[in-house]
Amino acid sequence: MLKVAVIGAGRIGQIHAGNIAAHPQCQLVKVTDVYAPAATALAEKLGAQVATLDEILGDASIDLVAICSATDTHADLIEAAARAKKAIFCEKPVDLSLERVRRCLATVREHNVPLMVGFNRRFDPSMAQLRESLRAGEIGATEIVTISSRDPGAPSPEYVKTSGGLFRDMTIHDFDMARWLLDEEPVSVFASAAALVDEKIGAAGDVDTAVVTLTCASGKMAVITNSRRASYGYDQRIEVHGSEGMLAVVNHPETSLVKSVATGVIAQKPMHFFLQRYGDAYRNELAAFIDQLSKGTAIAPGGEDGLQALLLADAALESLKTGKPVAPGAL
Amino acid sequence: MLKVAVIGAGRIGQIHAGNIAAHPQCQLVKVTDVYAPAATALAEKLGAQVATLDEILGDASIDLVAICSATDTHADLIEAAARAKKAIFCEKPVDLSLERVRRCLATVREHNVPLMVGFNRRFDPSMAQLRESLRAGEIGATEIVTISSRDPGAPSPEYVKTSGGLFRDMTIHDFDMARWLLDEEPVSVFASAAALVDEKIGAAGDVDTAVVTLTCASGKMAVITNSRRASYGYDQRIEVHGSEGMLAVVNHPETSLVKSVATGVIAQKPMHFFLQRYGDAYRNELAAFIDQLSKGTAIAPGGEDGLQALLLADAALESLKTGKPVAPGAL
Amino acid sequence: MLKVAVIGAGRIGQIHAGNIAAHPQCQLVKVTDVYAPAATALAEKLGAQVATLDEILGDASIDLVAICSATDTHADLIEAAARAKKAIFCEKPVDLSLERVRRCLATVREHNVPLMVGFNRRFDPSMAQLRESLRAGEIGATEIVTISSRDPGAPSPEYVKTSGGLFRDMTIHDFDMARWLLDEEPVSVFASAAALVDEKIGAAGDVDTAVVTLTCASGKMAVITNSRRASYGYDQRIEVHGSEGMLAVVNHPETSLVKSVATGVIAQKPMHFFLQRYGDAYRNELAAFIDQLSKGTAIAPGGEDGLQALLLADAALESLKTGKPVAPGAL
Amino acid sequence: MLKVAVIGAGRIGQIHAGNIAAHPQCQLVKVTDVYAPAATALAEKLGAQVATLDEILGDASIDLVAICSATDTHADLIEAAARAKKAIFCEKPVDLSLERVRRCLATVREHNVPLMVGFNRRFDPSMAQLRESLRAGEIGATEIVTISSRDPGAPSPEYVKTSGGLFRDMTIHDFDMARWLLDEEPVSVFASAAALVDEKIGAAGDVDTAVVTLTCASGKMAVITNSRRASYGYDQRIEVHGSEGMLAVVNHPETSLVKSVATGVIAQKPMHFFLQRYGDAYRNELAAFIDQLSKGTAIAPGGEDGLQALLLADAALESLKTGKPVAPGAL
């Protein structure tokens, strides 16, 4: 039985805490949050204790910490947990700064603790089956990966200012999926983007609509289309074109009701909320980490996956600034 | 090159005439209609001659006649054409009276001429592929055939009065499909029906909404659901449940455009008009008849198929009257 | 906080116990099972106590019992719980005998305790939305309800012998759905059925493949097609044809992956297992019961719903024996 | 009645000739081909005369010529027909050389004759409805156009050598669709491409797999993914993401049969052959040209549309060579 503490009791912390409590090999023992009532409510609901960060890190009986706090605390908390010899699950991203990520991962390596970075989409049953099918050669060799990833609605310009920008905040998930499905590191990134959804996002120096092309040395390509606003729900589709066929993950409708009337045959919209669409993914993500820990196998996605995705995001940003394709930096 | 004449230049006559003119082994030579301007227009458009019925039947160079006139003329025309030794294509039904159909088919047998009855749905590419898949054993043994057959809009009560009623006019197509797919004659027919669409149809002594169950001696079953009005288009679906799977023919949308908006994911309605939905079927039906004639193989669907479908329709009517399942009459 | 005990720790008991433990207004306090290790395992996992049936019924602090034991114990347990003044959730059916169900419900009425019968499909989000859409008039007046309900694989002939037969064991869910969607009690039931899947089921006096037609006084109809074996998964579809359109609940694929290859465009099969397909339904069912209890509104589906569905099942059985449509008995 | 001559009696010439013969306002009078037997066969089948090119151009009674000959003859034939004062339909492309296209269009302008260039996809009913929906504002403002355009199988390396390359030969259709749907000329083209399908195509100096991004001054974008080989049929999809929704044209299956078996729910592949997929488009294209001629409205797509698409193709080629985004040349 692994003893687990959760750092951060907000929306995503609640999801992870619930999954930890329900996992047969985990016991949720402690919860902390800078906002005490959130920690208290979550701890009570799941039969855990409220604690301070120091009490968690100082408690030798705790095996694993799940970092679900604000993005700008991630790197510090990973380092602190590494020094305390905990296994670490951290929500993406490790940090918005490449340099900070590199330093943080060095600390993790130094203390030799397992670290999983929360690229949850890899654990969505449909996405996971897509990759298994690819690896099993069901469509031959991969040639073009097409990712349509569009949020149901745009964030506030305030959020945008601290988000690191579209590529580091939102596309980063798609960069991870592209790498995972291409099975080869892109050597070139070209981004075309604009603020078409909300001019305030443009005024804040960011974009909200983008097309990004990734090219590999072998000639394999990936193309990502992003929008901060899809009026019809959370649009999350991936398609892989291979030498012997095509694999596609389509959207998940809210229900399976279909209405045929004079205006058409109307199916339900895609699920609107990422916690609903990826509920299974969060559950499976935790289970995979526990499974990797118990088997002693390599942790995936690990810190370097976080870094690689950030390198692609930074290359996309540079491409957007220069108007040219950019080679992503090295690890 | 077969020389062909078309009797009846109305809506369906125009369809068949156009297909005849376009068929590489046919030449449309004569057209007749009780309404002269219709015959003239059709003949001019397709480069054929206007003629009287007697001129057609008396012209020894004509190999084949296509009877596309009013239902109550079919049996007489078939007999006349049989006596004139023509190959005969006749739109369904042969007649609304069993006795008249039997007499007519006897005449056809006596003169030993080929007769195809226009159950066009057998020649729809999707329906034909369904049957091929069944015969190839792709879903093992047939167990339940489910036919959803619904017209886009109800006919006038006037039409209903002379139509022979829902079962003989509309369901007869479905009875033919059920026989064709069951590959075994039903031994029992049970009908439940009402006038839910238009009470004037009920006042005219007919029904407009029905569920009919057919049972075979082997235990195989078919169920037909009919409505005279499907607000969302012409609903034409068939599903066969077998021991190793299911085969289904789904509706054909008007176009392949799909709109995703705040109210849902909206595909196009099924094609509205039977001439549009079954355009390929009419073309293939003629081609199949020509092919059967040239190969000298049995004509299918032939006169006895018309009779069998009518026997099922009459049994359904009797079931509706008596409230009990009814065994269909013998050929 | 409602204190809840679960009677029966088998497959379905585990589902309900888990949902009870996770419900914010419930506390799972006791678990019992005739097979002690099952009770122990379930109680440990969810932090409840193992208890005897008497300890549960004698514990005045327990508000609600969930009866998840074998079918032939349901009626006795409902009566005992009613005498102990507990709110009762009982898995369907109340009993296989009409007379026993009537007596049991009389006891419930006498003690005036709330009873919900586990017709879980009403709480499936898609099915619930279907009914809401019907009630909101989205397709006008209901005319034909078509239910395709097919299990992934046939049960053993041994199970069949004690099951009460196809209609009471499996179709009973569909009878409930038909009543619920027709919003009018059927006045006639006609069943056609055979043992096509497994002749041993026939030898055991049961059928495994059926088409059942229900007719209402208003002319509305429902048709149910059942099979004990759908090689392609758990087939659970409902379609309602109305005066202004059609509503359909389609199957839920196992994942949203679609493969396009030389042999076709291959989507995933429907979910195979009823606990997977109806996982949300079980959760929502409990939540609805808690909600009805807290609001003091009528319990639905209640004991009389269980009785009405059984009346339809018995009428179907009688129809099958006599070969004629049968009017279902009165409450 | 327009008198029409067809130049070129090959595969595409046969299609256009058949549509011309069937059009109520056209009469197909003459056919020519450098390979005499092809002209003879086509003329006989459709009741036209075989003629030389000079006889066609010298026949003052001929109103319209349809140029369906080899690509390298298009520009010369357009010019000759323009001088002969014929209305001209010409299959795409006008020529592979920008300079030649410009000269040719100058001649057309000089003689002031109508010219339609055969971008048939604009006339596909689904594509046309997509554009109508866009113009009607059904999804608000256009933001991202995504075109998936993949041939069923790769051409021979010999064909590739004379084709002008992927962008001028195949993508040119997609460039036209992108322009037509964006409703704004792209200002930047970025292409990423490789020979992944057949290394002989690479050895011939061409590519067979590509991702091309088009950017407009307003920020609107289009992305095209091409492959010379889609094992699952002819993949022709377009999707437009707008401020208030998404419109998509999906593939057309060969038939509407769907098979559910133990390996999945298998729909038919997309239609394999472009003449089948775009049969309606060719018919509508001719009808639109006749309609534009009779109304005297501007011809669309006209010669300048052919030129603009070629400018995009050349920019894509330049982008591929330089590894940078390229601004397309001016008209």
* pLDDT above 90: residue A194: yes
CA distances from C83 to C62, C86, C118 (A): 13, 8, 20
Domain spanning B122-322 has what CATH number? 3.30.360.10
Q: Are B49 and B32 in contact (CB under 8 A)?
A: no
Q: What is the pLDDT of residues B222-276, one digit of tens each?
A: 999 999 999 999 999 999 999 999 999 999 999 999 999 999 999 999 999 899 9
- Residue A125: cis peptide before it, omega within 30 degrees of 0: no
Q: Which residues of D touch A184 (CB under 8 A)?
A: none
**pLDDT grade, residue D280 (50/70/90)?**
very high
Using a 10 angstrom Cβ sphere, with 0-12 exposed, 13-18 middle and 19 or more buried, the burial of residue C324 is middle
Report the 10 Å Cβ neighbour count for A2. Answer: 18
CA distance D203 to D222: 29
Print burial letters for A285-324: b (CB count within 10 Å at least 16), e (below 16): bbbbbbebbeeeeebebbbbbbbbbbbbbbbbbbbbeeeb
CA angle in degrees (0–180, nearest 5) for B33-B34-B38: 50
DSSP, residue by residue, B58-114: H-TT--EEEE-S-GGGHHHHHHHHHHTT-EEEEESPS-S-HHHHHHHHHHHHHHT--
Residue D230 φ/ψ, nearest 5 degrees: -120, 105
CATH fold label, D122-276+302-322: Dihydrodipicolinate Reductase; domain 2 (3.30.360)
**pLDDT grade, residue C331 (50/70/90)?**
confident
CA distance A232 to A238: 17
Q: What is the pLDDT of residues A277-304, one digit of tens each?
A: 999 999 999 999 999 999 999 999 999 9
CA distance C281 to B154: 39
Matching residue, tokens 């996405």: A127
Residue A214 φ/ψ, nearest 5 degrees: -115, 135
CA distance C154 to A227: 48
Matching residue, tokens 């397309």: D328
* pLDDT above 90: residue D330: no
**pLDDT grade, residue D32 (50/70/90)?**
very high
Q: Do A232 and D215 touch (CB under 8 A)?
A: no
Q: Are A223 and A211 in contact (CB under 8 A)?
A: yes
Q: Are B110 and B83 in contact (CB under 8 A)?
A: no
**pLDDT grade, residue A330 (50/70/90)?**
confident
**Minimum distance, in Å, between the CA of residue C241 and any CA atom of chain D:** 21
Residue D174 φ/ψ, nearest 5 degrees: -70, -35
Token reading at D37: 């037997």
Closest to C244 in 3D by CA, of A268, B254, B269, A262: A262
CA distance A221 to A223: 7
* pLDDT > 70 in chain B, percent: 100
Q: What is the pLDDT of residues C65-117, one digit of tens each?
A: 999 999 999 999 999 999 999 999 999 999 999 999 999 999 999 999 999 99
Q: What is the mean pLDDT of chain C?
A: 97
- pLDDT for the residue numbered C308: 98
> Which of C265, C268, C272 would best serve as a mutation to test chain D binding (most D beta carbons within 10 A)?
C265
Helix (H, G, I), strand (E, B) or coil at D194: strand
**What's CA C245's distance to the chain center, in Å?**
28
Q: Do A255 and C139 touch (CB under 8 A)?
A: no
- pLDDT for the residue numbered B47: 87
Token reading at A120: 């949850």
**Minimum distance, in Å, between the CA of residue A43 and any CA atom of chain C:** 14
- pLDDT for the residue numbered B45: 85
Q: Do A267 and B262 touch (CB under 8 A)?
A: no
Q: Which residues of C touch D268 (CB under 8 A)?
A: 264-265
Q: Are A130 and A247 in contact (CB under 8 A)?
A: yes
Q: Do B257 and D126 touch (CB under 8 A)?
A: yes
Q: What is the pLDDT of residues D5-16, one digit of tens each?
A: 999 999 999 999
Closest to D308 in 3D by CA, of D193, D239, D214: D214
* pLDDT above 90: residue C330: no
CA distance D134 to A250: 23
Closest to B230 in 3D by CA, of B279, B200, B183, B273: B273
Q: Are A185 and A272 in contact (CB under 8 A)?
A: no
**pLDDT grade, residue A24 (50/70/90)?**
confident
Task: Name every residue in A having a CB less than 8 A away from some CB of C.
Answer: 24, 45, 47, 125-126, 129-130, 133, 138-139, 244-252, 254-262
CA distance D299 to C52: 87
- Mean pLDDT, residues D233-251: 98
> Angle at which helices A98-111 and A74-83 pack, to 10 degrees?
10
The continuous run of DSSP H or E covering C175 comes out as helix C172-182
Higher pLDDT, B162 or D87: D87
Using a 10 angstrom Cβ sphere, with 0-12 exposed, 13-18 middle and 19 or more buried, the burial of residue B136 is exposed
Token reading at D167: 């962008």
- Mean pLDDT, residues A109-123: 98
Long-range contacts of A21-26, Cβ-Cβ distance < 8 Å, separation of 24 or more = A21/A46, A21/A47, A21/A48, A22/A283, A23/A286, A23/A287, A23/A290, A24/C45, A25/A1, A25/A290, A25/A294, A26/A1, A26/A2, A26/A64, A26/A286, A26/A290
- pLDDT for the residue numbered D234: 96
Token reading at A122: 């890899």
- pLDDT for the residue numbered C110: 98
Q: Which residues of A touch B233 (CB under 8 A)?
A: 260
CA distance C98 to D132: 61
> Alpha helix (H) ranges present in chain D?
11-22, 36-46, 53-58, 74-83, 98-111, 125-135, 157-162, 166, 172-182, 199-203, 274-277, 279-295, 303-322
CATH architecture assignment, domain B2-113: 3-Layer(aba) Sandwich (3.40)
**Minimum distance, in Å, between the CA of residue B263 and any CA atom of chain A:** 7
Q: Do A248 and C255 touch (CB under 8 A)?
A: no
CA distance D229 to C88: 62
CATH architecture assignment, domain C122-276+304-322: 2-Layer Sandwich (3.30)
Using a 10 angstrom Cβ sphere, with 0-12 exposed, 13-18 middle and 19 or more buried, the burial of residue B132 is exposed
* pLDDT above 90: residue C46: no
DSSP, residue by residue, B110-176: HHT--EEEE-GGGGSHHHHHHHHHHHTTTTSSEEEEEEEEE-SSPPPHHHHHHTT-HIIIIIHHHHH
List the subunits that have 3+ CB pairs under 8 angstroms with A.
B, C, D
* pLDDT above 90: residue C166: yes
Amino acid at B116: M
Token reading at C156: 């053993």
Q: Do C261 and A126 touch (CB under 8 A)?
A: no
Helix (H, G, I), strand (E, B) or coil at B272: coil
Helix (H, G, I), strand (E, B) or coil at A185: coil
> Which of D266, D268, D271, D272 would best serve as a mutation to test chain C binding (most C beta carbons within 10 A)?
D266
- Pairing of the two strands D26-32 and D2-7: parallel
Closest to D138 in 3D by CA, of B252, A251, B266, C138: B266
Tell me how far apart the terminal alpha carbons of chain D are, to the nearest angstrom. Answer: 35
> Alpha helix (H) ranges present in A112-203?
125-135, 157-163, 166, 172-182, 199-203
Helix (H, G, I), strand (E, B) or coil at A217: coil
- Residue C301: cis peptide before it, omega within 30 degrees of 0: yes
- pLDDT for the residue numbered C24: 86
A167 DSSP assignment: I
- pLDDT for the residue numbered C238: 98
Nearest CA in chain C to A249: C257
Nearest CA in chain C to B239: C148
* pLDDT above 90: residue D296: yes
Long-range contacts of C315-322, Cβ-Cβ distance < 8 Å, separation of 24 or more = C315/C189, C316/C167, C316/C171, C316/C175, C316/C189, C316/C191, C316/C210, C316/C212, C317/C165, C317/C167, C317/C168, C317/C191, C319/C189, C319/C190, C319/C191, C319/C212, C320/C167, C320/C191, C320/C192, C320/C193, C320/C207
- The ipTM, to two decimals, is 0.95
Q: What is the pLDDT of residues A210-235, one digit of tens each?
A: 999 999 999 999 999 999 999 999 99
Closest to B187 in 3D by CA, of B217, B213, B222: B217
> Alpha helix (H) ranges present in B194-257?
199-203
- Mean pLDDT, residues A138-159: 96
Q: Which residues of B touch A232 (CB under 8 A)?
A: 260-262, 264-265
Domain range annotation of chain C: 2-113, 122-276+304-322
